[in-house]
Structure 1
């Protein structure tokens, strides 16, 4: 049994559908945390947790496919919510339930939301949790029947900013990593993502929540992920709508252009209408069809 399993209570819960476990991300002290433990709040319906707010204790919810279906691939999911909340059910649990039907293990991260009350530096707290999630899943890959080179990340909206930050800042470790475990995801899936923190096309709410009302030029540059694409950035799948009035499609376009210029394999699906959160209005099995096709083409799923 692993240290993290010994040091924490394994929770089996009905509200998470087919989830097998909920595991604390950290077995000991949470990095960058103050002594203040914020009381989480949730929105619930029909026995399911729809939203989390005021998150101070990050967790990983584990979904494993049946062994006869398992492809060896895994996806770590970061729900969106403008860095002020997390759309845990629609952009997390329901997506994970679809993945396991296709033989892909899924891990929904309830990450810390930026707050000066619970973090020494709120701008790096979510990224620390993303890096820890990648580290944890990769280190327990054998236990969960995963290929350690088929572990990707997925993010929606502000969760897409977090995912793209993890995918472009993996060589900037912000957590302890005694085993030198690779923090680089093998692929990224970004759904109507926030990418940039520049004045245009930044999502102002996400930027203010992560960096404060008056971020420095250095902070804006550090977290504008289109500026940090290199030839080592993981292959990426993007989808967005042209009429998104919440997170401008220019975020996805700028990131795609940076990927293309660095010869990083990338596929982008743009739709003329649907606005923000358009995939949430569709059955997951419908809108994820091209995503699974992309995964198969790249041999993460056979």
Structure 2
């Protein structure tokens, strides 16, 4: 099969490329800057989103288009400028993908588009699945709603479209986990905020295998929650992390301090949502790491 991957140089993209390149697949990674050929013989790069880029010629006969591109939401305080960049980068990438698909002589069988569980808004009491029609109204939710609405235009081109609503992806060297590790490494780990907020997490390996599962199961379309089947309140998440690291869990960080420090971005850690992967489970996906302790032991082994 031939895959086109936008955002293939991010931590999720790299893991996905590593998995797909093990098999007899051709992989084209879309990138803003020119890059040398990948060390893997079946992986190459093509430029896009620049004035002198013409990626369509390299993407003819693409079977699966995967879009993971977008500005990171956790790399800086959410100023108005940052929020505009977070929103615009996602819409720009999706529009560019749609433009490419429009020009392809043969349309891909599927568009797998990144999304986020932030679409549901936050709650300490509700349980969210893909069946929830009432969505959040905060900045992150509104961003994801517009992201999915734009990507859904691929459906009108006859392309099966899937929105991968990622939870908190756990990986040792990237994403949210390294930031959560630091207090425990310094022996000052403890509850973040009230500790009651839900952490809907997923191991990076289940993200990758979940995406390949969705690709293989052509009856899956629309939103798909990428979260482990056993989310935890932040207090339990922290205690499990401390146990695996052999560190104490004792010094809380109050919500007001995080809001002062991070501003609106504090929503990512102070608030949360309990999200279940209903669609993946209904279609028979077997999680590699359904329990947090098992996932963390693997990551730190």
User: Which of the pair is proportionally richer in helix?
Assistant: 2
Q: TM-score, normalised to structure 2's length? A: 0.34
**Higher RCO structure (Cα 8 Å, ≥6 apart):** 2
Q: TM-score, normalised to structure 1's length? A: 0.34
